[in-house]
Amino acid sequence: MDNNFLFYVLILVTPLTIITITMIIFTSLFMKNKKHAFVYLFFVLAAAVYQLIQLYNSVPTLGTAILVIYLLLFIITFYVIRHKRKQEALK
């Protein structure tokens, strides 16, 4: 197997795992305290922008793939939060 392929898969899987855990933490914080959640989100976005800049400088296609992953997970997180808030409103 080509080592470059494994390297690219690792670069894609690592941010996917990290941003998934990050969005789970954000959702939990958001449901408890919105102010703390937005501070946390600010730092997460700052780190994500830095990572994307570094990726675009080295491998633009990987930077685009990571950007798509970030956008999808942010959208999923938005819908999860919206769903949880609706459930809380029904209680």
pLDDT number for residue 91: 75
Structure tokens at 18: 């990290």
Indicate the domain borders of the chain: 12-90
Both tokens assigned to 53 = 């800049």
Q: What pLDDT, on the 0 to 100 scale, is given for residue 39?
A: 95
- Distance between alpha carbon 38 and the CA centroid of its chain, in Å? 14
Q: Low-confidence residues of the chain, pLDDT below 50? A: none
pLDDT in tens, 50-65: 989 998 998 888 889 8
CA pair distance 12, 23, nearest whole angstrom: 17
SS3 63: helix
pTM: 0.81
Q: What is the pLDDT of residue 77?
A: 92
Question: What is the model's pLDDT at position 2?
Answer: 65
Note the pLDDT of residue 40.
94
Provide the token pair at 57.
Answer: 């400088």
